[in-house]
Amino acid sequence: MVNRIIKIFVTIIFLIATSTKASETLTFKQSVDGFMSTLIKEFDIKSATSIAVVKGDNVIYQQSFGYADIENQQPATNDTAFYIASITKPLFALTVLQTLENSKYDTSLSLQEMFPEIHFAKEIPADKITIQDLLAHTSGLDDNFLATAVSTSGIHNKKSKQLMLANIFTSEESKHGEFDYTNLGYNIVSIWYEKTFNITWQEALEKTLFKPLNMSHSTAIVSEAEHKKWRIAKPYSFFSATPNKALYLTKQDNTMHAGGGVISSSNDMAKFLKLQLNAKATNDSHIITPKLIKRSQKTVAKLSSSRGDFERNAYAYGWYTGNYKNHLTYHHFGSFDGFRPHLSFMPEEKLGLVILNNEGMLNDKLTDLIADFVYSKLLNKEGVESRIDSKMAKLKTMAYKYRDKIVSKDKNYTLKPWQLSARKQHYVGKYHHPLAGDIKVTFNGDKFELTWGNLKTTATPLREKDQMRVKFRPSNGQKVQFKVVDNKPTALVYSGIKFAKIK
């Protein structure tokens, strides 16, 4: 009789606890849904945001808002694939560590040992720079060609990447051993990885992470996702004159790189977060061990900075570390035209957050607001609503004024007179650099069009002689300077690179 009473009592306690937990989860879901509804309404957002919140080994909140494709009214889902930009880094770094664990190499391998066939510049300490330096952004290296080729222009192959690698140089901003964030190190490691292990870095991610974790809507090969007819989020910009029109620049296979080259869903990134928080996978075939997860989370570089309210005092293998809301937090964000993803977790509290979106400028601030709201609720912080409302009001005022300013600025450039010393038709032609490729200039009616690999732009006038303003990247205006000799353009200089006119 006593045992029966005890069993009944325990059952009642369990049911009460379960009911309380379910009630708390429902309340949390309702609060986040309400916050997102307000956010979307205040900024008239049509683009997509996909959120997943992880607690322990469970996804306690997941919802997608807005459109993956605004023009065709295709709503985003939890399986919609978004470009995750630099959040690729913790994925690739973990894959490299796993591969090294089962090889004769380790992270102390030097740059010169990685590429004995290359004669690096004398000032580069190639015998001291290691794989760890390259993955921790402490190499002290810089380059003019490699990072741009694999991320934006798409003009590269195995041979040209080797030549680009031979042309790297020491950075003017940092020395070996000092943290200086860049994509270059990850791209260098990927070149070595492929030639050493005879597998592409994309295939390695698939084998090491995507398949074992059942990340069914993650890939580093865009054409594969297109072939499978995945719903892929198109890129947008709130600060465009046409914010609901997709940007022309989209990621292709030749611009997916080891420092920023994966598309993934909130469903899949939640699985990756659970791996980080619990060091276990969704099936028995996974080859990432708890020991390896701990190693990847071990800090290997010191720094002192912040991103919004996220402190950054160290860097692990693909993770910034520091306090956020007085709790140790690992995080990495990403940025590219039309995308601003967020990935973070608090190991001691077993909490994690995924925010994926397909608008890259306003979301630079909106993701911070979402993270503030979500973590404040999870950590039972007081006064979150009033604080967020104040931040939102200030951001709304700033955002619309800034958009008007950018749109007006771009329009004003089109009204300026051309300051060209030669006839317009003389600027037409192909301008070549042996490593950077060809920039083609055409003139149709009253517009100069420039193309460079995957990139294209309509040029507008600048006030200086023989200059044009271009926006190969939709979010970034830059200058092209033409060299004119005897009233004929002989070369153009873009981003410090001189392209000689060949026809």
- Does the pLDDT value for residue 155 go beyond 70? yes
- Does the pLDDT value for residue 282 go beyond 50? no
- The dotted CATH code for 424-501 is 2.40.128.600
- Does the pLDDT value for residue 109 go beyond 90? yes
pLDDT mean over 353-373: 97
Q: What is the pLDDT at residue 424? A: 95
- Does the pLDDT value for residue 249 go beyond 60? yes
Question: Per DSSP, what are the bridge partners of residue 359?
Answer: 236
DSSP-derived 3-state class of residue 296: helix
* Cα(166)–Cα(184) distance, integer angstroms: 13
Q: What is the pLDDT at residue 25? A: 67
- Does the pLDDT value for residue 17 go beyond 60? no
Range(s) for CATH 3.40.710.10 in the chain?
11-94+199-399
Q: What is the pLDDT at residue 288? A: 86
CATH superfamily, domain at 11-94+199-399: DD-peptidase/beta-lactamase superfamily (3.40.710.10)
- Does the pLDDT value for residue 475 go beyond 60? yes
- Does the pLDDT value for residue 427 go beyond 60? yes
> How far are the Cα atoms of 39, 96, 171, 213, 439 from residue 99, in angstroms, in the given order?
43, 5, 29, 17, 39
Q: Which amino acid, one-letter code, is at 43? A: F
Q: What is the pLDDT at residue 280? A: 60
Query: Model confidence over 415-424: pLDDT tens digits?
Result: 999 999 999 9
Q: What is the pLDDT at residue 445? A: 80
Range(s) for CATH 1.20.58 in the chain?
105-197
Lowest mean pLDDT among 16-30, 89-103, 179-193: 16-30
Angle, CA of 123, 129 and 134, to the nearest 5°: 120
- Does the pLDDT value for residue 1 go beyond 80? no
Say how far residue 163 (Cα) sits from the centre of its chain.
26
Q: Tell me whether residue 400 is exposed, middle or buried, using C-beta atoms within 10 angstroms of its C-beta: 0 to 12, 13 to 18, 19 or more.
A: middle
In this prediction, residue 279 has a pLDDT band, given cuts at 50, 70 and 90, of confident
Lowest mean pLDDT among 214-218, 261-265, 431-435, 475-479: 475-479
Range(s) for CATH 2.40.128.600 in the chain?
424-501
105-197 CATH fold: Methane Monooxygenase Hydroxylase; Chain G, domain 1 (1.20.58)
Query: Model confidence over 52-69: pLDDT tens digits?
Result: 999 999 999 999 999 999
